[in-house]
Structure 1
Amino acid sequence: MLLYKQKKSHGGGKGGGNRFLISITVLGSAGPIRFVVNEKELVAAVIETALKSYAREGRLPILGSDLNSFLLYCPIAGTEALSPWETIGSVGVRNFMLYKKPKMENDAAIVDEKQRIERKGNGSWKSWFNKSLNLKISSH
């Protein structure tokens, strides 16, 4: 008597939908991260999975684990970042790019930093110029 294993159906299980392999390229990393997702998974869940996989593999640069500070783009679909609440299968592509959101600073801090750099730059330039003159003028 032979025993047969029944195949599990992917469509009727947890979450339903088709599963497919996606590739996420992280800016500054050596290569893409690849893993299988359900087409009905939210973009936020995909970003979280990508960050966990990236950290587990010990990749550089270190990104952190806060999924709210990252954006997922589809280079083929356009220049807008994907909404964290849309499904990953709604885009219709399998290659994505993961970017860290730019840090927002207040305007006063930016102005203070620029002024500090200008003051330091002018002083160091003048001192370099004076030193170079002193070296060229030598008494015999």
Structure 2
Amino acid sequence: MLNYKQKKNQPLKGNRFLISVTVLGSSGPIRFVVNEEDLVGAVIQTVLKSYAREGRFPALGSNLNDFLLYCPISETEALSPWDNIGSVGVRNFMLCRKPQTETAIDVEKSPSVSRKATGSWKTWFNNALTLKISSH
């Protein structure tokens, strides 16, 4: 597991700003202040800790390597854990679990069973909106 903690005795550099991170499947965003020099990996770690501390569902776990942070304007590309959060230029993000990969062994064992591919958060969001509109 990668370690993204910054040392507490280091002076803060750069600007601080409020970000909002929506966790896919959760009831609402998590908001907190970050330094523009903070790494994306550190932001993911902070979101996971805050999410668990607040007792939100569904439970996510604490392994930051299982998650990707997306920027709504970059559509399909996840942010690199080594990028600075301030380099993106936005304040709203989406945290999603990494897609599960199917191994060739699993395909050989059950060739007649096909798994539905996991879509992006935008596909999930559009489907949720469609269901909500059709139920009213």
Tell me the TM-score normalized by structure 1: 0.70
Alpha-carbon contact 1:77-1:91 (below 8 Å) kept: no
How many Å separate the matches in 2 of 1:70 and 1:100?
A: 4
How many Å separate the matches in 1 of 2:110 and 2:56?
A: 32
From 97, 101, 105, the equivalent of 1:104 is: 101
How many Å separate the matches in 1 of 2:29 and 2:111?
A: 37
Find the counterpart in structure 2 of residue 54 from structure 1. Answer: 51
Find the counterpart in structure 1 of residue 38 from structure 2. Answer: 41
How many Å separate the matches in 1 of 2:30 and 2:70?
A: 14
Q: Show structure 2 runs of 5+ residues with no match.
A: 1-9, 115-136
Task: Give 1:45 deviation, angstroms.
Answer: 0.2
- 2:24 maps to 1:27: yes
Task: Give 1:105 deviation, angstroms.
Answer: 2.4
Deviations 1:1-37, CA, capped at 9 Å, x for gaps: xxxxxxxxxxxx7231111000000110000000000
Task: Give 1:103 deviation, angstroms.
Answer: 1.4
Deviation >3 Å, runs of 4+: none
Larger C-alpha radius of gyration, 1 or 2? 1
Percent identity for Structure 1 against Structure 2: 67
From 85, 89, 93, the equivalent of 1:88 is: 85
Aligned letter for 1:73? Y
Tell me the TM-score normalized by structure 2: 0.72
CA RMSD of the aligned region, Å? 1.7
